[in-house]
Amino acid sequence: TTASDHEKLLYLRKYLNLIDCLDFSLTAYKKSMCKLESRYGGPDRIYVSIHEEIRDFRQLNSRSVQELDRLLYLLESTIVRLKDLKMAEELGPPALYQNIIRKMGRGLILDWDRYCEDHEKQKGIVQLKLWIEREINLQSGAAGASFQKVDPSFTNRQRTYYVRGGKTEVYERSKGQ
């Protein structure tokens, strides 16, 4: 069922104190919607809010699944809003990407760089999101299904083998990270 303009205005007034129109007319409803759009919407305001959200994002304290989930939510939100704004070019490695990278710990950044280099991946927000999803899956889904083995040919490297559905994934990193 669709609500009448009068019902919509009552709903807006109930939840938003900034609506200060005096009557319940269609004009009042449209004026209220314009006020909301100018305050919370519009492409410029949404773009600014993306930058603000990234700026206000607390730097990751660890590599825990909870911390990576926080970053994943930021990345997903950023991707969806930039695509809605038809600003897909911002998903590559300009300022937004660099600001997100600064929110990651040094070890995570090094692993991300190594992953991109080893797998010949181009850096960007979408690829970073996919990698963070992979890291979360490796941490949460592989509990109890992994084993570590030191490769004698690389004494400063450690490989972790994850076994899933008959398939083995290898995750390699420097010792001490």
Provide the pLDDT for residue 111: 94
Provide the pLDDT for residue 103: 95
* Phi, then psi, of 167 in degrees rounded to 5: -110, 140
> Residues 156-172: pLDDT tens digits?
445 554 444 444 555 55
Q: Is 122 helix (H, G, I), strand (E, B) or coil?
A: coil
Q: Which residue has the tokens 């992994």?
A: 146
Report the length, in residues, of the chain: 177
On whether the CB atoms of residues 92 and 124 are closer than 8 A, the answer is yes
Cross-strand bridge partners of residue 172: 159
Provide the pLDDT for residue 2: 61
Cross-strand bridge partners of residue 163: 168
DSSP state of 32: H
pTM of the predicted model, to two decimals?
0.62
Question: From the first residue on, what is the mean pLDDT of each consecutive set of 10 residues in the chain (177 residues)?
Answer: 69 62 70 74 83 93 91 94 85 84 93 94 93 91 50 47 50 53
